[in-house]
Amino acid sequence: MSGTSADGVDAVATRIDGRAPALRVEVLAHEHVPFTRDERARVLALPDATVSELALMHVALGEWLATAALRAIHAAGLEPSAVTAIATGGLTVVHIPPADGEAGATLALGDGDVIAERTRCDVLSDIRARDRAAGGHGAPLVPFADAVLLGNDRPRAALNIGGIANVTFTTPAANAPLADVRAFDTGPGNMVLDAALAWRSDGSLQFDEGGALGLRGRADEALLDRFEEGDGFFAQRPPKSTGRERYGAAFLERHRAALGALSLEDMAATLAAYTVRGIVRGTVDHAPRAPDDLVVSGGGAFNACLIGGLRRALHPIRVVTSDEALGIPVLAKECVAFAILAAATCDGVPSGLPSVTGARRATVLGKLSRGA
Q: Tell me the domain boundaries of the chain.
A: 8-140+331-369, 150-326
What span, in angstroms and rounded, lies between the C-alpha atoms of 90 and 54?
13
What span, in angstroms and rounded, lies between the C-alpha atoms of 125 and 87?
6
- Quote the pTM value: 0.89
The whole-number average pLDDT for the span 24-29 is 96
Q: Please name the residues in contact with 36: beta carbons below 8 A apart, sequence gap of 6 or more.
A: none
The whole-number average pLDDT for the span 300-329 is 96
The whole-number average pLDDT for the span 346-371 is 94
- Angle ∠(153,277,293) on CA atoms, nearest 5: 15
Dihedral angle at the C-alpha atoms of 223, 164, 275, 149, nearest 10 degrees? 170
The whole-number average pLDDT for the span 93-97 is 88
Do 8-140+331-369 and 150-326 come out as alike in CATH topology?
yes
Taking only the tens place, the pLDDT of each residue in 41-92 is 899 899 889 999 999 999 999 999 999 999 999 999 999 999 999 999 999 8
CATH of domain 150-326: 3.30.420.40
- The candidate with the shortest Cα–Cα distance to 306, out of 283, 286, 277, is 277
Average pLDDT across the chain, whole number: 93
Query: CA 361 → CA 134, 135, 170, 326, distances in Å?
Result: 7, 9, 20, 30
| Domain 8-140+331-369 classification at class level | alpha beta
pLDDT at 149 over 90: yes
Q: Are 96 and 148 in contact (CB under 8 A)?
A: no
pLDDT at 177 over 60: no
Give the rounded percent of residues in the chain with a pLDDT score beyond 70.
98
Element holding 51 (H helix, E strand):
helix 51-75
Taking only the tens place, the pLDDT of each residue in 252-284 is 999 999 999 999 999 999 999 999 999 999 999
**Order of strands across the sheet that contains 164-170:** 181-188, 164-170, 156-161, 293-297, 318-321
pLDDT at 175 over 60: no
- Phi, psi angles (nearest 5°) of residue 336: -60, -40
